Chains A and B, each alone.
Chain A
Amino acid sequence: MKRQHAPLIGGLALAAFFVAFPFIYTAGDYPFIMHVLITGFFYAILASSWSMLAGYGGQFSFGHMGFTAIGAYTAALFSHYLYISPVATNLCTEFAIGGKYLLILNPVGVTSSTLSQDCLTKAMEIWGGTVQVTPMPVLGGIILGAIMGGVFGLLIGVLVLPLRAAYLALFTLGFSEILRAVISGEIAVTRGQAGLELPKLFPNGITVFGRYFDKTDKLPPYFVMLGLLALSLLSLTWLARSKFGLFVRALREDQDAAAALGVNTTRYKVLIFVITSMIAATAGAVMAYYVGIVTPNNLIILQMSLVVAMAVIGGVENIYAAAIGAIMIEFLLEFLRNSFQIGPFEVNMVTWRLVVFGIVLMLTLRFSRNGIISPIIDYFLRGHVARETVAKREAASNKSDEVSS
């Protein structure tokens, strides 16, 4: 076994471990561990796509959670306001499509009074349980969320074209804040801080290989999220290795030089925004269906700080390192919650863990700019290259010594 194969083998072993894990692990906290892993995969998708955008593309956007929220809210609004009914309600806005009716519910916001119910509830009361309406398919919500993420990515990508560094970070942070304000402000439609409820990822349960899984079972969403992580890592790898990745890295290093060498800088700068925001939006939509509720709290700066810190601690220029860093940090954060006492002082780890985390982030940036995990991968990948180079140089210097003597 050559040393440069170690990361590949390690990666495959890790993937195999994650596939096998839910079948091996049987301890009592199984649902909790599974939840932590699913959240870890979610952050891994975000961290790796952010590292593609920031590490490869050099565009330090702070709007990544904004795209996640766009995916999540698109899916939530889609599932919350659209229904298909076999009978006309004559109350809602409705369109007849081939004998069925597409209902668009009227927004009523957060209300407990029976006076302002939404039109479907009223219609159901009139029908008295005789009519079954079908909600929208979950997959449709996810796809729509991804498309909306792409559309907004295109918009933001075009708007930030002339901006660099601090200006870009500020603009994207501003985008995220405006989005949060709109979502918390438009209570009639988004229900503000109360959050929008969604159906579960598999609302009717699912049967795989003859085994039935309930809608609250953790196993199907686990594999959906793992699959999405694998898919996004594969597509990001493919992108990074193709001409696209080369162009994007050239843009990062020197935009003018890249343009002079014939790289369509505008197209690639926008494209990398669109792709990474689509990935973030898809992850956001899937996570929203898994959790079952979306609130504007997804958009607070803490969430974005977590993604940034995960990517930076893992290694911002390596999507795999960022993903592993994200899963690792999510685990550490969940398991450092236990408070303990030192003498008379009670140390509330729920907050102190974030302090430690911030210090680790700063120290990583200061002393190991490529993160903690990425140098390990590089050690295995490039170690032999360095040794060969050293050997060649030694040989060359020996030869020149001989010539000179």
Chain B
Amino acid sequence: MQVEYSHIFWSVLGWMIFWGVIGSIWTRRVYLRRDLDTSGAGFVGAMVGASFGPVGLIPLWAKTPTVSRHLQIWPTLASVGLIAAAFAVADPSNNCVSNGAFVASQISNGIIMGIIYGFMALGLTLIFSILGVVSFAHGEFYMIGGMVAYYVTTVWFPGISPLVGILAACGVAFIIGAAFERMFLTPMYSGKIERPSEYGILVTFGLAFTMQYFVQAVVGANPVKAQRYWDFPRLRIPSADSPWLLKTSRGNMQLFDTISISNPRFTAAVAAILVLLLLLYFLRKTWTGKALRAVSLDRDAAAIAGINPNRMNMLAFALGGTIAALAGSLLVQAFSWLPQVGGIPTLRSFVIVVLGGLGSLPGAFFGGIIVGLVEAAGTGCVPDPQRAASYIPAYGMIVLTLTLLLRPTGLFGRRFSGGAQGSFK
């Protein structure tokens, strides 16, 4: 399938990249020359350049306003809008442009998946903010969670409550996480290792490798899929005859006659939100949660206040793995499961965490929704479905690359006292 006027799209994109690069480099220089705060100037320059070209850049260089939130948000939205407009002009017959119902269901799907992605990334960000380790094994916990839930609910005890499967998945992940942290990550804290962050990367990488092939050796490489955990009750609102607002069948829910949400995804998203609220309550209100946050803010001060940072490290790593396993055990009813399914979620969680700002909890959540939307747009709008499917791992990576180049602190980045990787520059 060939896009009708693809040259329009690519030339607009080229124009945006050209002025974006010029804007990012020169705006920084202009701000530096006038002795102004340059943080964020490169980002604003890139976005203004990309969206308005020289028309926007010249006033920006002339006036050099202070970098405010508005100045960052509006040009960014304008750039996204410009790309969308160029796409619409270049390919008017595309489903994404001509079919409103398709767009609505893609967006709702993107948000639902984004909530789950964000929930999973939360585990990674929790690990990072407390241990200073970026766990490369995060997706493997997700995979293990799904596998355990599948085996408990479908193979070993068919007909058992899915809650048991989910709890078993969480328990297994918690034990693996805690044991791994005790065995392999403890030497990082005592300063025995010259470069702890690299050690953390490599050793979690080894864990991911071991876990993936261990599961493959035990259960084989055939895809499995769990039963639906529950059925929707049959509902028709407002009435049985005119299904205008909401209509459900056992495995599907239809809103406004256009948006269709499948039961497993809906369940997973609702459960993710509930657990997220629980987690926030745990982190804000309980003693242990407060201790965790205290360690992430200042290790030494927390230790002085009587918190054992080492125990918090163990708890954080195990809890992070548990969150990933929970996401896996909820999604195993939606997707077919293989020992290799961990790879893409690992990368996606990284993308979300970097986009949201390493260590930021709300950032992880918003980043998840953004990545969910980008992936939905990518899979739905790229012409030629086969190509779109091959590019799935790349959409998140493009977001990551842009984030690292334009705004390495992410949306809600903050500085860290604890953790070896707190500084990236």
Instruction: Mark A residues whose CB is within 8 Å of B.
Output: 54, 58, 60, 159, 162-167, 169-171, 173-175, 177-178, 180-182, 184-187, 192, 301-302, 305, 308-309, 312, 348, 351-352, 354-355, 357-359, 361-362, 365-366, 369
| Contact A163 B202, beta carbon cutoff 8 Å | no
| Contact B210 A170, beta carbon cutoff 8 Å | no
Which residue of B195, B202, B391, B421 has the most chain A CB atoms within 10 A of its CB atom?
Answer: B202
| Contact A165 B420, beta carbon cutoff 8 Å | yes
| Contact B347 A366, beta carbon cutoff 8 Å | no
- B190 interface hit (Cβ, 8 Å): no
Separation of A352 and B421 alpha carbons in the complex (Å): 34
Residues in B36-56 with C-beta less than 8 Å from chain A: none
| Contact B424 A174, beta carbon cutoff 8 Å | no
| Contact A185 B390, beta carbon cutoff 8 Å | yes
Separation of A296 and B187 alpha carbons in the complex (Å): 38
- B80 interface hit (Cβ, 8 Å): no
Known: A60-B202, A192-B390. 15 other contacts (CB 8 A): A167-B354, A171-B400, A174-B400, A180-B393, A308-B205, A354-B217, A355-B210, A358-B214, A361-B209, A362-B210, A365-B202, A366-B183, A366-B184, A369-B193, A369-B199
- B239 interface hit (Cβ, 8 Å): no
Separation of A159 and B21 alpha carbons in the complex (Å): 13
Count residues of chain B with CB under 8 A from any CB of chain A: 49
| Contact A185 B387, beta carbon cutoff 8 Å | yes
| Contact B408 A166, beta carbon cutoff 8 Å | no
| Contact B198 A361, beta carbon cutoff 8 Å | no
| Contact B217 A165, beta carbon cutoff 8 Å | no
Separation of A174 and B387 alpha carbons in the complex (Å): 18
- Cβ distance B393 to chain A, nearest Cβ, rounded Å: 5
Separation of A178 and B347 alpha carbons in the complex (Å): 12
Contact of A365 (CB < 8 Å), options: B134, B199, B393: B199
- Mask: chain B, 157-170; 1 = CB below 8 Å from A; 0 = not: 00000000000000
Separation of A192 and B387 alpha carbons in the complex (Å): 10
Separation of A351 and B217 alpha carbons in the complex (Å): 5
- Cβ distance A303 to chain B, nearest Cβ, rounded Å: 12
Separation of A354 and B211 alpha carbons in the complex (Å): 10
Separation of A257 and B343 alpha carbons in the complex (Å): 38
Separation of A186 and B387 alpha carbons in the complex (Å): 7
- B282 interface hit (Cβ, 8 Å): no
Residues in B362-404 with C-beta less than 8 Å from chain A: 386-387, 390-394, 397-398, 400-401, 404
| Contact B184 A58, beta carbon cutoff 8 Å | no
Separation of A182 and B149 alpha carbons in the complex (Å): 34
Contact of A308 (CB < 8 Å), options: B193, B202, B351: B202
Given contacts A177-B347, A312-B202, contact A355 B387 (CB under 8 A): no
Q: List 14 A-B contacts (CB under 8 A).
A: A165-B421, A166-B134, A167-B408, A170-B400, A174-B347, A175-B397, A181-B394, A181-B397, A187-B387, A351-B213, A358-B206, A362-B206, A365-B206, A366-B183
Separation of A192 and B384 alpha carbons in the complex (Å): 14
- B201 interface hit (Cβ, 8 Å): yes
- B240 interface hit (Cβ, 8 Å): no
Separation of A354 and B213 alpha carbons in the complex (Å): 6
Contact of A184 (CB < 8 Å), options: B350, B390, B408: B390
- Cβ distance B108 to chain A, nearest Cβ, rounded Å: 25
- Mask: chain B, 196-237; 1 = CB below 8 Å from A; 0 = not: 011111110111011101101100000000000000000000
Contact of A358 (CB < 8 Å), options: B187, B213, B350, B401: B213
Number of A-B contacts (CB under 8 A): 134
Residues of A contacting B62 with CB < 8 Å?
none
- Cβ distance B302 to chain A, nearest Cβ, rounded Å: 23
Given contacts A165-B198, A170-B354, A173-B347, contact A358 B210 (CB under 8 A): yes
Residues of A contacting B350 with CB < 8 Å?
170, 173
| Contact A163 B199, beta carbon cutoff 8 Å | no
Nearest residue (CB) in B for A176 is B397
Residues of A contacting B423 with CB < 8 Å?
164
Separation of A354 and B339 alpha carbons in the complex (Å): 13
| Contact B184 A162, beta carbon cutoff 8 Å | no
| Contact B217 A174, beta carbon cutoff 8 Å | no
Separation of A358 and B197 alpha carbons in the complex (Å): 19
| Contact A309 B209, beta carbon cutoff 8 Å | yes
Separation of A174 and B424 alpha carbons in the complex (Å): 17
Separation of A175 and B394 alpha carbons in the complex (Å): 9
Given contacts A362-B184, A362-B206, A362-B210, contact A60 B198 (CB under 8 A): yes
Separation of A18 and B400 alpha carbons in the complex (Å): 44
Residues of B contacting A192 with CB < 8 Å?
390
Separation of A91 and B369 alpha carbons in the complex (Å): 49
Separation of A390 and B207 alpha carbons in the complex (Å): 40
Separation of A162 and B407 alpha carbons in the complex (Å): 12
Contact of B397 (CB < 8 Å), options: A162, A174, A302: A174
Separation of A35 and B136 alpha carbons in the complex (Å): 32
Q: Which 10 residue pairs spanning A and B have beta carbons closest together?
A: A358-B210, A181-B394, A185-B390, A166-B134, A354-B213, A174-B397, A362-B206, A165-B197, A351-B217, A358-B209
- Cβ distance B338 to chain A, nearest Cβ, rounded Å: 13
| Contact B217 A352, beta carbon cutoff 8 Å | yes
- B425 interface hit (Cβ, 8 Å): yes
Residues of A contacting B203 with CB < 8 Å?
362, 365-366
- Cβ distance B378 to chain A, nearest Cβ, rounded Å: 10
